[in-house]
Structure 1
Amino acid sequence: MTVTAKPTTGSGGGGELAQREDLVTLTIDDVEVSVPKGTLVIRAAELIGVAIPRFCDHPLLDPVGACRQCLVEVPDAGNGRGIPKPQASCTLEVAAGMVVKTQVTSPVADKAQHGNMEFLLVNHPLDCPICDKGGECPLQNQSMSNGYGESRFTDVKRTYPKPVAISPNVLLDRERCVLCARCTRFSEQVAGDPFISLIERGALQQVGIYEREPFQSYFSGNTIQICPVGALTSAEYRFRSRPFDLVSTPSVGEHDACGSAIRVDHRRGRVMRRLAGDDPEVNEEWITDKDRFAFAYGRGDDRLTRPLVREDGVLRPASWPEALDAAVDGLLAAGAGSHGHRIGVLTGGRLTLEDAYAYSKFARGVLGTNTIDFRSRPHSAEEADFLAAVVAGSGRGVTYGDLETASSVLLVSLEPEEEAGAIFLRLRKAWRRRGLVSATLAPYLTRGAAKAGSTLVPTVPGAEAAWLDGWSSATGVPLDSGSVILVGERAAALSGTLSAVLRLAERTGARLAWVPRRAGDRGAVEAGCLPTLLPGGRPVADPSARVDVASTWGIGSLPRAEGGDGDEMLVGAAQGALAALVVGGVDPNDLADPAAAVDGLERVGFVVSLETRASLVTERADVVLPVSLMAERSGTFVDWEGRRRPFPVVLDAPNAMSDLRVLAALADAMGRPLGFRSPAAALAELDELGPWDGSPAPVPAFGAGAAATGHGDQLVLATWRLHLDDSRALAGEPYLAATARPPVARVSPRTATSLGVRPGPDGTTGIDAVLTNDRGDLTLPLVVEPGMVDGVVWVPARSAGLAVSENLALLPGDLVQVGVESRPRRQAPDTPTQEAEATA
């Protein structure tokens, strides 16, 4: 029997022949197998169905040969390829003519594996019934299949105080550790956060941390999942459930646009934990801590479970028929169906593709308005045209795989570690494996950009367009047809940047991809949740596009005039121009000026809110219609690639309806049915429409504009959201929230000098920066950042009690007054208890 493993065929001519020449033939357990040169023996054995026991081995980590459980025999076959002693198959590369005998055919290998298992269990506690890993533990399984039935060890086992909090989120039981180094290798190689390592030697060797630098990583939960024993556990899940009590459902992460595959484990109608799914084309086997741990946001007292209707100025519970009737009366009174612009629809980023399509059809076909927008965030006039030309109806474009093979990558208004974790991991992987050349336009080189090997192009916010129009290879990052440009949604807040990105891509031939921050944004573009865009990228202004959609929907006509965007809705509401507003999943605090947004909501004649939890919108709504959480609905997210990521219902909640189902009921009550009631039917209709085959309108040539210049104590503001911040998604998850990086204000050394601040060796100052304008102020610890562009101050967009939008109502590129003040010294505690309280 011969098994041949062919490597992936390359795109160049003659690639298959060349790769066949790289194949190496060897014999494993009397089976001849041909594999690519450089393949490890443990992988070659898997091809013939032989599972060699292992703990330290992981296909996405560099081999280390730490646990010694995968020992095999390599006898001499008369060709000089024999090795006298058993070898670790996870570090041994194949060789032509090699003969390998695993535990299946070799008593030597079998005895070696049994002996090593006995050695591992010498100090390992036999507490499987109470261990979190019990029931899904490789050590437990392999001790039965490749170990002795009884222990010969009679002395006292080694113990340690437990657990050790490696971080607020990750706990370590050192006596369970088998020193496989999976956690340390993941942290150093994949995430780039080497804050845990193996310390001591011999019998005292253990996983340790540096007390002054806790394990601070956005990907720390992956170490729990890949730990082959119960050494690393989650602070939230610890001792909460048993694996065999859980029901597992595949799903998709809803916290960013990466479309990461996850596995949701639930019991008795409650999600207990989430794990990374295995999807080599998307997130491989890794997810962010937010995707892993942030799932309790719907368990609080603010969860909406019944419809609410405003009566005498107060919201009161109502039945579904009563709430739907009240919504219908208010919308009809506002002119629903009259093809005007007195009704607006404002959606957020939590919607699935099917939900977004329902909102789009509800706006045009039921309410008769093109005033619909998913961008409940700052945006510029050029963005809708950019999205129509580059994103809508384009299908799958740049992929994760393209990032690994790109000749170079340029990041514009995007910090992948903060905003798109799976993209960050791919960029870092490409840099480590083949030295990917990348550059980032930013005011300073962030920790994430440095870990991905990016070169900083120091840019004052607002000057991005000028940099892009003048781009040259002098930056050290040449762009060509093999390059990729990733532009984040933050570019929409900087006028001219998106147009400049498009011009640069056309000039260099580089491929361009738009990376939104929220999971539902790409799907909203495809579904037509824009005032100028119909489903599939069809322009509202094109008569044939309107006829195409109207005929598929079975209605007479669609509103002709382009509608107003999200900002115009709220401004129009404040001026009394908007009679009614339908809002789905929008947090006013995401807008540039939340106070103005709330004021606009209060001035709208009639507000219908579809929401999961009480919010600033529901407090001001006339009718509140509760909708289901992500785990309670099925649907599809469209990730930044344009790849559809479907997911099923996880929790059966009969009383919870998705946005689509609520809108269908509302349309029925108005006598204008949507024509579908399920995600599958909505997706089928959207696919029937298909992408627009006409030409999109050209993107207007927005100029670079004049960037503000900081001087003295007037500095240019730079800001973006961090991965973990003051987000409603983190509600109910204190352990995860405790791992958020502390908020600081950053300035360059020269700017610090101009402010009269002298930094310490580590960049800290002991001084607070105070940002002020006529709206309010922000006070944060000041840190001096080497290499940062001068005249700029960077602060996180949202942290606990500190929000740029709420406190200052400023956008990146605006000028802000910056002062400094000495930080009050804490009084020395008198007792250890006081010291602990002060530290906490």
Structure 2
Amino acid sequence: MTTTTSAGTSPAAAAGGAQPPARRDEVTFTIDGIEMAVPKGTLVIRAAEQVGIQIPRFCDHPLLAPAGACRQCLVEVATPDREGNVRPMPKPQASCTLEATPGMVVKTQHTSAVADKAQHGVMELLLINHPLDCPVCDKGGECPLQNQAMSNGRATSRFVDVKRTFPKPIAISTEILLDRERCVLCQRCTRFSAEIAGDAFIDLQKRGAQQQIGRFDARVLGFADGESEPAAPAGSLPYGAQAGFEAPVGAALEDESGRPFASYFSGNTVQICPVGALTGAAYRFRSRPFDLVSTPSVGEHDACGSAIRIDHRRGVVLRRLSGEDPQVNEEWITDKDRFAFAWQDAPDRLTHPLVRDREVDAEGRVTRGELRPASWAEALEVSATGLAQARAAGGVGVLPGGRLTVEDAYAYGKFARVVLGTNDVDHRARVHSTEEADFLAHAVAGTGLGVTFDEIEHAPAVLLVALEAEEEAGVTFLRLRKGVQKHGLRVFSLAPFASRGVQRLDATLLRAAPGTEAEWLDVLATGTQTLFGHDGAVGPDAPESVEEPAEVSALRDALARPGAVVLVGERLAGVPGGYSALLRLVASTGARLAWVPRRAGERGAVEAGTLPALLPGGRPVPDAAARVDVAVAWGVEHLPETPGRSTGEILDALSVGQLGGVLVGGLHSDDLPDPAHTLRALGAAGFVVSLEVRASDVTALADVVLPVAPPVEKAGAFVSWEGRVRTFEAALATTAMPDHRVLDALADAAGLVLGARTTEEVRAEIDQLGSWDGDRPAAPDVAAAEPPAVAPGTAVLAGWRLLLDAARGQDGERFLAGTAKRPVARLSATTAAAADLFEGDVVRVSTDRGSIELPVVITDMVEHVVWLPLGSEGSQVHRELGVAQGALVRIEPAAGASRPGESVQPTDGGAS
């Protein structure tokens, strides 16, 4: 029976009923006797999938451009000639590169002996040099080559010669290893690197029998003779030398900062490799696929909500893979989401409650003892009693942190209002401001699903404000790049310099010194002249007015086009007037706006109402009707009416005794702009309860520590920056409790009912409340601040966190740590020369609090600005300098540092 299927065809027609005529943008052809109508340009291999016909393949991938590299998908093809006679092509064709044309007749291996023989021949050629090491290969058990060798290969081999071999493995990076003899040259990895990530990661090399995938390295490929081989670059060690294992052949390439180069997305090449040529160093030889239990989940490292798959065995997570979600991350994730999971079961993991004893001497002085293990009953009782006393002594602040599920964040907000009777709750464990809180209440909370990944991919223009997409939202970067490559998207970035990620987006840079973003946004909104130069300069030599740069006019016109989007990061909170100017910009241009925080739990916490003036669903605290809504749902008579304190104000109040205690969630002091002040405030607090996964400098100051479950051991949901709810279930069954259950037990100990015992209970209550349909809070209206005056020897501090840095979420993953960028200080040539600094010198960046010394990289960037990574090893800006972006810092050559090529002069009596 002949059937026809096409997009939009009715089920009756698909079953063989009367067929409507093909549309002008469709072509009708036949495959294995089935007549199909498909959109023009459809590949034959895709059309076959639509009707359930399986064609073997290795190089084909739906998200990569056709390559026809492996030739495994050969089919027999006949097409009409000029007279309409259907004539066969002289030889089988690769169905992964062949577009369906009108009247084409395709026969796959299911109906054609020619196609079947061709596929058998290709498989035989692929297996000639392929090693028979399936029992020890990481891909064994889930290998397309194994499967297709059985289904589309010969039963016996005719090859009797010696197989080709290569030294192995090559360390492509500290994380990715390459076994070249297993490679079938499908080029999936090289195409992913070039098309999707835009990284010069690995490529096809040599010709003929020696053709291979790898990095270009003369020592590895054997091009250099023994005496002329170049010395290994300083700092470029093989992964074995760094990790303590037997070193593979060769060393990874270096990036400009002197570290072995690796893409932030390199792990995707391991997953899409159809054989065992590319493997992950952390997972290599650790398990077999059929020993693993797989659980779908969601990435916890950023706000993109990427779908992942957790593979575990006997209660231990062995690897994480990308899940398939076309609406969000497609089939890609960052290396951080893939490899950084060891932190959830680190050696400092808290497994039982801890209580600190207090002793009162004869004079009434209280002495705090050491933390000691305690039972849950004792810890909850001590916590309830201590929080009640602290509430009576001035009140209790609540600092949940921004890494929680929406259920946990909701429980913290409810606990603050119902049990502690306060609106002193704020999840923003980072640089923040009152203006930002007003912006979130006005433009983000309760808005539901807003701008989506698909919409930014197909937008005519996207403006990035205080957002470095590759470092702070990796999957968002990939979708932006896809839009640039395939849909003509124009990206604009408001930043001090064009980072490598911005360059790979072909983005137009609007040079903005830290603190001038608000003025830039007003210029875009109103067209008025700026008080700073078009290069974003600040300081005494900045011109008072300039002619409007062409890129400003281009961006204003682009944002006025339907579908244009502005993506704003959380770093704009450190710029007075930034969010106010941003709202004026989108109002004047009609562009859509999306807030992209860095942490996974930030958007969910906003929706859950863990802000001092915000209740769940975007309900403003000052609105009586909004408070009634929530009070009825919570079964209480009333809620506190006065908006509470922000994170910074809570810490200030603790330090001077205005608050009696604090309840802390996943808070790390280094995330805040002044970690020393944070720790002093917690140390001065009358009573501290900390709910945490691992021991930290905060738990060391707590009076009671209550261990909670990491994401892998609990069910929950993250709300992505899109506003999309991303639910997941627990991958590992343990006795560890999520935050909301611990808070529910703590409320019970206080004699109150929180109603947050189970995840289902919390979700039902959130759904019942829904979003606020009343008047939204007014938009913030804060004036921009004047840029600081830059004196000689000083500069304005700029910076953001790198994707891979010294954050605690990456602890324990030594292979991933080897691919992190080495921290450097970036200066313009003019700024560096004014401080007597040159490329490769070591600069000392200092404040009255401390200093950081880093090598200088001369960068085409804004003048009078120094850029530092905020949280990398050797560059903990908040901890060492005690300031945030936009502050003035001193810059000078580091004492005792010699420049490249200079010899250090001997001291008196020293040998030269």
User: What is the TM-score with the length of structure 1 in the denominator?
Assistant: 0.94
Match of 1:793 in 2: 866
**Which residue matches 1:267?**
313
Q: Whole-Å Cα distance in 1 between the matches of residues 656 and 781 of structure 2?
A: 31
Task: Please point out which of 35, 44, 52 is paired with 2:55.
Answer: 52
The whole-number CA distance in structure 2 between the counterparts of 1:501 and 1:165 is 45
Q: Separation in 2 of the partners of 1:424 and 1:754?
A: 35
Q: Which residue of 2 aligns with 1:545?
A: 626
CA distance in 1 between counterparts of 2:74 and 2:142 reads 23
User: Aligned to 1:154, which of 155, 160, 163?
Assistant: 160
CA drift of 1:311 comes to: 1.2
Q: Superposition pairs for residues 47-446 of structure 1, below 5 Å? A: 47-76=50-79, 79=85, 82-211=88-217, 212-213=253-254, 214-312=260-358, 313-335=369-391, 342-446=395-499
Q: Residue 268 of structure 1 aligns to which amino acid in structure 2?
A: R
Deviation at 1:709, TM superposition (A): 4.3
What residue is the counterpart of 1:751 in the other structure?
831
| 1:302-701 matches, cutoff 5 A | 302-312=348-358, 313-335=369-391, 342-471=395-524, 474-475=551-552, 476-477=554-555, 478-480=558-560, 481-653=562-734, 655-701=735-781
Distance (Å, rounded) in 1 between the aligned partners of 2:21 and 2:693: 57
Query: Residue 5 of structure 1 aligns to which amino acid in structure 2?
Result: S
Is contact 1:75–1:84 with CA below 8 Å preserved after alignment?
Answer: no
Q: CA 1:811 to 1:280, structure 2 compared with 1: closer, same or farther past 3 Å?
A: same
| Contact in 2 for aligned 1:7/1:19 (Cα 8 Å) | no
Q: Distance in 1 between matches of 2:806 and 2:60?
A: 38
The one-letter code matched in structure 2 to 1:420 is A
Q: Is the CA contact (8 Å cut-off) linking 2:344 and 2:712 kept in structure 1?
A: no
Change (3 A) 1:658 1:8: farther
Is 2:857 aligned against 1:783? Answer: yes
**Could you tell me how far 1:301 is from its partner in structure 2?**
2.1
Contact 1:261-1:276 within 8 A present in 2 as well:
yes
Is the 2:841–2:899 Cα contact (8 Å) retained in structure 1?
A: no
Helix, strand or coil: the match of 1:297?
helix
Check the 8 A contact 1:7/1:36 in 2, yes or no: no
CA deviation map 1:505-546 (0-9, x unaligned): 011100000001000000000000000000011111111111
* Superposed CA offset, 1:446-481 (max 9, x none): 000111121100001000000000115742222124
Q: Provide the identity percentage.
A: 60
Q: Deviations over 1:351-375 (max 9, x none)?
A: 1000000111110011111000000
Q: Deviations over 1:56-93 (max 9, x none)?
A: 00000011100000000013565356321100000011
Gaps of 5+ in 2: 11-19, 218-252, 255-259, 359-368, 528-549, 903-912
- What is the CA–CA distance in structure 2 between the aligned matches of 1:439 and 1:117, rounded to whole Å? 47
Q: Secondary structure at the match of 1:244?
A: helix
The Cα shift of 1:31 comes to 0.2
**Matches of 1:353 and 1:79 in 2, distance apart?**
64
Letter aligned with residue 873 of structure 2: A
Structure 1's 7 and 502: CA in aligned 2 closer, same or farther, altered over 3 A? farther
Secondary structure at the aligned position of 1:548 is classed as helix
Report how far residue 799 of structure 1 moved.
1.1
User: How far apart, in 2, do the equivalents of 1:215 and 1:292 lie?
Assistant: 18
What's the CA shift for 1:210?
A: 3.5
Letter in 2 for 1:401: D
Contact kept, 8 Å, 1:628 with 1:657, in 2: the verdict is yes
Q: Which residue of structure 2 aligns with residue 27 of structure 1? A: 30
Partner AA of 2:888 in structure 1: L
Q: Deviations over 1:581-612 (max 9, x none)?
A: 00000001100000000000001100000000
CA distance in 2, matches of 1:208, 1:523: 42
Aligned partners of 2:563 and 2:591 also within 8 Å: yes
In structure 2, the CA distance between the partners of 1:21 and 1:76, relative to structure 1 (3 Å rule), is: closer
Conserved 8 A contact 1:69-1:116: yes
Distance 1:195 1:185 in 2: 10
User: Would you say the 8 A contact 1:341–1:371 is kept in 2?
Assistant: no
Quote the Cα distance in structure 2 between the aligned partners of 1:708 and 1:86.
Answer: 70
Q: Which amino acid aligns with 2:502?
A: A
- Residues 384 and 73 of structure 1: CA distance in aligned 2, closer, same or farther (over 3 Å): same
Judge which range, 228-237 or 340-349, deviates more: 340-349
CA distance in 2, matches of 1:260, 1:600: 36
Q: Which residue of 2 aligns with 1:813?
A: 886
8 Å contact kept, 1:440–1:457? yes
Task: Return the alpha-carbon distance in structure 1 between the equivalents of residues 261 and 688 of structure 2.
Answer: 46
**Is 1:770 matched up with 2:844?**
yes
Task: Please give the per-residue CA displacement for 1:667-720, whole angstroms capped at 9, x wherever unaligned.
Answer: 111111112311111011011111111111212311122122435321111010
Mapped contact 1:3–1:48 kept (Cα < 8 A): no
Aligned CA distance change for structure 1 residues 99 and 711 (closer, same or farther; 3 Å): farther
* 1:718-774 Cα shifts (integer Å, max 9, x gaps): 01000000010111100001100111001112212222334xxxxxx2201110111
Report deviation, 1:335.
Answer: 2.5
C-alpha displacement of 1:215: 4.4
In the TM superposition, what whole-angstrom CA distance separates every residue of 1:205-260 from its partner, at most 9, and x where no partner exists?
Answer: 00121344454110000000000000000000000000000000000000000000
Check whether the contact 1:209–1:215 (CA below 8 A) recurs between aligned residues. Answer: no
- What secondary structure does 2:510 align onto? strand
Contact 1:715 1:791 in 2 (8 A): yes
Q: What's 1:761 paired with?
A: none
Give distance in 2, aligned partners of 1:341 and 1:347: 20
For 2:665 and 2:274, locate their aligned partners in 1 and report how far apart those are by CA, in whole Å: 43
Q: 1:81 to 1:748 in 2, by over 3 A?
A: farther
Segments of 5+ residues of structure 1 without an aligned counterpart are 10-16, 759-764, 829-840
When the two structures are aligned, how many residues end up with a matched partner?
A: 810
Indicate if the aligned counterparts of 1:709 and 1:716 stay in contact, CA closer than 8 A.
no
Q: Quick check: 1:6–1:35 contact (8 Å CA) kept in 2?
A: yes
Contact preservation (8 Å) 1:343, 1:369: yes
1:341–1:563 Cα contact (<8 Å) kept: no
Aligned partners of 1:564, 1:335: CA distance in 2, in Å?
15
Moved over 4 A (4+): 824-828
Report the AA paired with residue 419 of structure 2. Answer: V
SS at match of 1:134: coil
Q: TM-score normalized by structure 2? A: 0.87
1:399 & 1:780 partners in 2: Cα distance?
39
Alpha-carbon distance, 1:18 to partner: 13
After TM superposition, give the deviation of residue 824 of structure 1 in Å: 4.5
Q: CA deviation at 1:434?
A: 2.3
Secondary structure of 2:456's aligned partner: helix
Paired with 1:641 and 1:5, the residues of 2 have a C-alpha distance of: 32
